[in-house]
């Protein structure tokens, strides 16, 4: 009897996405792909097909491939900051240790993508560096707040992040069983370097 009821077998009506919702959907798919695929190999046809739209319509939302790529890495930068956020209920020193460990783990997990992000491989656009700067600035703000670093020494913390990134990239390039130090030691060394730099800059 239920099958005879009006609308019982009617297909579900698909809600039309707004332009912003469609852009977010495309960026989510692109972000998932560029983590593993170099930008020069990213297929816009595949991205469009996965959403169920034409390639031409995709370029309605993002005028060029570079615009799409930049939207994806901006999203990656925001995600990076979310996934490296320390527990703000921890003491300041513990927050810095946790933040450093989370940062190194993220770089290890997505090393090739992070290299492309930092060095701009695959796209020559100054806006790429803006994404990297936003990650470093956000991470710097967290350390400054956690340790109560005076504003004049904020640049020291920011420079330390570049050092920590380089250590993480070098460390993660070595196969797991051959690394010179475990993660815990690397974190401790990086945090010790931060305190040494802050002490030198204060003297």
pLDDT at 10: 45
Higher pLDDT, 123 or 134: 134
DSSP 37: S
CA 180 to chain centre: 26
Length of the chain: 203
Whole-angstrom distance, CA of residue 157 vs CA of residue 167: 15
User: Kindly report the CA angle at 73 between 72 and 77, in degrees rounded to 5?
Assistant: 125
pLDDT in tens, 33-73: 877 777 667 888 999 999 889 888 999 999 988 888 888 88
Whole-angstrom distance, CA of residue 163 vs CA of residue 55: 41
Residue 11 has pLDDT above 50, yes or no: no
Of 22-31, 54-63, 182-191, which one has max mean pLDDT? 182-191
**In the chain, count of helices (H) and strands (E)?**
9, 0
Residue 4 has pLDDT above 80, yes or no: no
Tell me which residue of 123, 118, 109 sits closest to 172, measured CA to CA: 109
Per-residue pLDDT, averaged over 73-96, amounts to 92
How many CB atoms neighbour CB 174 within 10 A? 10
């Amino acid at each position: 009897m239920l099958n005879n009821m009006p609308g019982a077998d009617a297909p579900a009506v698909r809600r039309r996405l707004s332009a912003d919702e469609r852009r977010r959907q495309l960026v989510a798919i692109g972000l998932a792909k560029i983590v593993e695929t170099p930008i020069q190999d990213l297929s816009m046809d595949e991205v469009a097909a996965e959403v169920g739209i034409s390639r031409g319509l995709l370029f309605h939302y993002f005028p060029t491939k570079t615009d799409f790529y930049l939207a994806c890495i901006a999203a990656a930068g925001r995600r990076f900051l979310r996934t490296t956020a320390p527990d703000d209920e921890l003491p300041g020193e513990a927050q810095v240790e946790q933040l450093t460990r989370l940062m190194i783990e993220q770089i290890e997990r997505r090393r090739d993508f992070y290299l492309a992000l930092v060095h701009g491989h695959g796209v020559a656009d100054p806006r790429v560096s803006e994404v990297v700067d936003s990650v470093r600035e956000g991470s710097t703000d967290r350390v400054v707040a956690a340790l109560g670093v005076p504003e004049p020494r904020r640049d020291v913390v920011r420079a330390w992040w570049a050092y920590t990134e380089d250590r993480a990239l070098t460390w993660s390039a070595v196969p797991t069983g051959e690394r010179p130090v475990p993660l815990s030691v690397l974190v401790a060394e990086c945090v010790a370097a931060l305190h040494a730099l802050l002490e030198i800059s204060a003297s």
